[in-house]
């Protein structure tokens, strides 16, 4: 093998593009789609009280399968996890101006769902092992206005769900889970997405299983389930007819899944465990392959927990290896290897929070608590800032249809970069 770094004109370790991500879509999904098309009812929803308020047969079947798989009483489908998160914040009884404590180290949709309901995201810091909310930081952010904790099970591993649920209980507020990245992850016998009052799954193209776009909210509480159904489907036109005149929030949206999407979701859900096992196998090979590199800390799997590796996230120690993270990642990318730095900028540093501009220039809804403006300043969450700025590296090579070959190339490329450490540094 050419030992000259691709960055300096050598042959790269990997020359092809990665195969396109798929989720084992085959005849089963095809049959489901054709059956719906031939039946002609592409949506079973109608925005009024009655039988069609809850959607068509495929939507209901998919929801039933989610109840079975996750062991919950109710599953309410949405057209995305973003809309399901909006529904969850609303169904949890949050009012405009209330504070919801959440993570800054997540996809932007998590705290945006809080703003969609005119409530205020308060960011607590994350911790180094699970990259989820740090319970001690959450405690420190609780105020008399705190009305919920919205945790994120990041990268495929549960956040500290037992500790966070205990804090929520002690303050008599609900725990909500954004489980978009972690369906099938668990700790003990508890599945991620089922510790909180409501757990949200994503069914978008990038996630473990997919319907193109889609989401699902899980709960055991019948009142919460009804509220989720109302926000999904024009609640304002329905509450009167079903005798729920006193619902605190009555506005509804059209957040409905189509029958074709739901039909695709049914065989997809049946493949969740297989797809997770593929990721787990490749991730454990990658961890074994990277063992010789003490400057890379592989993902932590807490005792009794199961990781499903939506992303394989490593912590990079620049001091130990003597190479800046950016130079290391750039050299790997030149070798044709999929690697990304930082994951996401802590969300309070986005212009929307810095400028307090969610809906317009007047600062709404951030201005609702004039005497207690939320803090979005640099330094607010030092761990998230450090992970983003210096430590986190992620790769998505553990997903289907990648194989051991992609894992071997990854390890080979890291070896090659380390062998060329001095050349890399003198070029910098």
Ligand X SMILES: *Cc1c(COP(=O)(O)O)cnc(C)c1O
What are the catalytic residues?
207
Q: Which is nearer to ligand X, 181 or 219 (CB)?
A: 181
Chain residues that interact with ligand X, rule: CB under 6 A: 80-82, 106-107, 109-110, 152, 178, 180-181, 202, 204, 215
CA distance 232 to 226: 10
Do the Cβ atoms of 407 and 326 come closer than 8 Å?
Answer: no
CB of 202 to ligand X, least distance (A): 4
Q: Which is nearer to ligand X, 228 or 413 (CB)?
A: 228
Tokens representing 242 are: 């079903």
CB of 89 to ligand X, least distance (A): 13
CA distance 238 to 54: 11
CB of 159 to ligand X, least distance (A): 11
CB of 108 to ligand X, least distance (A): 8
CA distance 61 to 81: 19
CB of 24 to ligand X, least distance (A): 19
Q: Which is nearer to ligand X, 204 or 284 (CB)?
A: 204
Residue for token pair 């063992």 = 291
Q: Which is nearer to ligand X, 80 or 233 (CB)?
A: 80
Q: Which is nearer to ligand X, 204 or 403 (CB)?
A: 204
190-191 sheet: strands from edge to edge: 190-191, 186-187, 305-306
- Output the furthest CA–CA distance in the chain (Å, rounded): 74
Q: Which is nearer to ligand X, 152 or 413 (CB)?
A: 152
CB of 155 to ligand X, least distance (A): 9
DSSP 40-92: --S----SSSSGGGG--HHHHHHHHHHHHHHT-SEEEEESSHHHHHHHHHHHT
CA distance 197 to 316: 35
Residue for token pair 């798929």 = 22
Quote the Cα angle for 43-84-49, to 5°: 50
Quote the Cα angle for 198-135-369, to 5°: 75
CB of 302 to ligand X, least distance (A): 19
CA distance 260 to 43: 8
Q: Which is nearer to ligand X, 180 or 229 (CB)?
A: 180
CA distance 126 to 112: 18
CA distance 156 to 113: 21
Rounded to 5 degrees, φ, ψ at 101 are -85, 130
**DSSP H or E stretch at residue 318:** helix 318-321
């Amino acid at each position: 093998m050419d030992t000259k770094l691709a960055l300096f004109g050598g042959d790269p370790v990997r020359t092809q593009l990665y195969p396109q991500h798929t989720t084992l879509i085959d005849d089963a999904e095809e049959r489901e789609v054709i059956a719906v098309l031939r039946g002609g009812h592409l949506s079973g929803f109608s925005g009024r009280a009655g039988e069609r308020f809850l959607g068509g047969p495929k939507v209901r079947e998919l929801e039933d399968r989610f109840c079975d798989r996750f062991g919950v009483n109710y599953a309410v489908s949405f057209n995305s996890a973003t809309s399901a998160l909006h529904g969850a914040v609303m169904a949890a009884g949050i009012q405009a101006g209330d504070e919801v404590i959440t993570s800054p180290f997540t996809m932007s949709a998590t705290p945006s769902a809080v703003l969609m309901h005119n409530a205020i995201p308060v960011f607590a810091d994350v911790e180094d092992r699970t990259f989820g909310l740090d319970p001690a930081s959450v405690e420190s952010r609780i105020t008399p206005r705190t009305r919920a904790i919205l945790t994120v099970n990041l990268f495929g591993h549960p956040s500290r769900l037992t500790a966070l649920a205990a804090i929520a209980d002690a303050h008599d507020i609900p725990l909500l889970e954004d489980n978009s990245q972690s369906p099938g992850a668990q700790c003990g016998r508890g599945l991620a997405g089922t510790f909180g009052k409501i757990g949200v799954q994503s069914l978008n193209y990038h996630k473990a299983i997919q319907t193109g776009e889609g989401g699902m909210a899980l709960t055991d509480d019948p009142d919460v389930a009804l509220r989720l159904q109302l926000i999904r489907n024009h609640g304002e036109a329905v509450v009167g007819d079903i005798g729920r005149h006193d619902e605190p929030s009555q506005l509804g949206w059209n957040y409905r899944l189509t029958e074709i999407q739901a039909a695709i979701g049914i065989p997809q859900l049946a493949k969740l465990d297989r797809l997770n096992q593929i990721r787990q196998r490749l991730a454990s090979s990658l961890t074994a392959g990277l063992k010789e590199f003490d400057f890379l800390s592989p993902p932590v799997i807490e005792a009794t927990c199961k990781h499903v590796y939506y992303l394989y996230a490593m912590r990079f120690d620049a001091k130990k290896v003597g190479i800046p993270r950016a130079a290391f990642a750039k050299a790997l990318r030149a070798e044709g290897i999929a690697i990304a730095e930082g994951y996401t900028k802590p969300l309070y540093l986005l212009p929307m929070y810095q400028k307090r501009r969610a809906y317009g220039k007047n600062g709404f809804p951030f201005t609702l608590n004039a005497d207690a403006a939320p803090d979005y300043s640099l330094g607010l969450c030092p761990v998230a800032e450090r992970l983003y700025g210096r430590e986190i590296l992620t790769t998505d090579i553990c997903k289907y249809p990648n194989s051991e070959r992609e894992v071997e190339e990854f390890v080979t490329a890291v070896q090659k970069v380390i062998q060329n450490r001095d050349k890399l540094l003198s070029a910098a």
